[in-house]
Chain A
Amino acid sequence: MGLDKNQIAKRIAKEVKNGMYVNLGIGIPTLVANYIPEGVEVVLQSENGLLGMGPFPTEDKVDADLINAGKQTITTLPGSSIFSSAESFGMIRGEHVDLTILGAMEVSEQGDIANWKIPGKMVKGMGGAMDLVASAKNIIVAMQHTARDGSSKLLKECTLPITGLKCIKKIVTDLAVLEVTSDGFKLLERAPGVTVEEIQKATEGRLIVEGDIPEVQL
Chain B
Amino acid sequence: MINKTVKNAQEALQGVQDGMTFMLGGFGLCGIPENAIQELLRLGVKDLTCISNNAGVDDYGIGLLLQKRQVRKMIASYVGENAEFERQLLSGELDVELIPQGTLAERIRAGGAGIPAFFTPAGYGTEVGEGKESREFNGKMYLMEQWLKADFSFVKAWKGDTAGNLIYKGTARNFNPMMAAAGKITVAEVEELVPAGELDPNMIHTPGIYVQRIFQGEKYEKRIEQRTVRIA
Contacts and interface: CB of A to CB of B under 8 A. Distances in A.
A118 interface: no
A135 B143 CA distance: 13
B178 A85 contact: yes
A72 B228 contact: yes
B102 A93 contact: yes
B78 A93 contact: no
A85 B174 CA distance: 5
Query: Most A CB atoms within 10 A — which of B30, B101, B128?
Result: B101
Contacts of A213: none
Interface string A102-134: 000000000010000000001111111111001
B195 interface: no
A49 interface: yes
A148 interface: no
Contact of A56 (B122, B126, B127, B228): B228
B226 A67 contact: yes
Interface residues on A, range: 35 or more
Contacts of A135: 121-122
Interface string A128-168: 11110011000000000000000000000000011111000
B18 to A, nearest CB: 26
B50 interface: no
B171 A47 contact: no
B98 interface: yes
Interface stretch (A57-65, A179-187, A188-196, A202-210): A57-65
A86 interface: yes
B224 A134 contact: no
B121 A126 contact: no
Which one of A56, A62, A89, A90 has the greatest number of beta carbons of chain B within 10 Å? A89
Interface in B73-107: 76-80, 86, 89-90, 98, 100-106
Contacts of B106: 86, 89-90
B78 to A, nearest CB: 4
Contacts of B225: 67, 71
Contact of B105 (A68, A88, A124): A88
B44 interface: no
A103 B158 CA distance: 35
A130 B128 contact: yes
B79 A66 contact: no
- Listed from nearest, the 3 A-B pairs whose CB atoms lie closest are A89-B102, A131-B102, A65-B170
